[in-house]
Copies of this chain bind each other. A is one copy, B any other.
Amino acid sequence: MPPGRLISFTDGVIAILITILVLELRPPSGDHFGDILDEKGKLLAYILSFVFVAIYWVNHHHLFQVVHRIDGRVLWANILLLFCLSLTPVATAWLGDSGVKTGPAAAYALVLLACAVAYSLLTLALLTLHESESQLANAIGDDRKGRVSLAAYVVAFVLAFVWPWVSVALFIAVAIVWFVPDSRVTRTLEDA
């Protein structure tokens, strides 16, 4: 099957998730400019989650530049990724409401871990379908960045029970690493 409809459905779901995040932001109750600071925690949680979801969209965008056909397994791996991403708003809301405490930090780490695992499964499902010498296989390579992120999320989950702020620092560090889109795909595309 051609990937067109999977791509547009994914764009739709991610576009909605990224805007549902903003529903958690409420205007402050006062009417002074400084009252914005009352919403500081929620605003920072929003920015962090917006960046995470945007990173997934950018990487999905890059990945599917070199995908030419999909099957039922790819469809379901993609739906699993969308399911995991759909838990971001509620994890963000908890972090924004309760602040950096054990519960929300651990839950946020779990959601990010689930997204990363789902993305890896999607990559594997795509590799199974394409030949090992394909543009896709070259582009993905050994996915070191993916494995490092998985490890970081596991560490962030454990540390949330001791120092939740360290978990949040890890989330930010991983976001920075992923911010640069997968240079291998870009390079392979340019070589092509």
For the complex, give the distance between the alpha carbons of A180 and B80 in Å.
15
Q: What chain B residues lie within 8 Å of A15 (beta carbons)?
A: 9, 12-13, 15-16
Q: What chain B residues lie within 8 Å of A149 (beta carbons)?
A: none
User: Could you tell me if A75 and B181 are in contact, using CB atoms closer than 8 angstroms?
Assistant: yes
User: Could you tell me if B32 and A102 are in contact, using CB atoms closer than 8 angstroms?
Assistant: yes
User: Could you tell me if B19 and A17 are in contact, using CB atoms closer than 8 angstroms?
Assistant: yes
Closest to A36 in B: B107
Q: What chain B residues lie within 8 Å of A57 (beta carbons)?
A: 9, 79
User: Could you tell me if B86 and A22 are in contact, using CB atoms closer than 8 angstroms?
Assistant: yes
8 Å CB interface, A1-45 against B: 1, 5-9, 11-20, 22-23, 25-28, 30-36
For the complex, give the distance between the alpha carbons of A26 and B107 in Å.
13
User: Could you tell me if A18 and B82 are in contact, using CB atoms closer than 8 angstroms?
Assistant: yes
User: Could you tell me if A22 and B89 are in contact, using CB atoms closer than 8 angstroms?
Assistant: yes
Tell yes or no: A174 within 8 A of B by CB: no
19 inter-chain pairs at a CB distance below 8 angstroms, sorted by A residue, are A8-B11, A16-B16, A16-B19, A18-B86, A20-B22, A20-B23, A22-B89, A23-B23, A23-B89, A26-B93, A27-B93, A27-B97, A31-B102, A33-B103, A33-B160, A35-B103, A47-B83, A50-B83, A50-B86
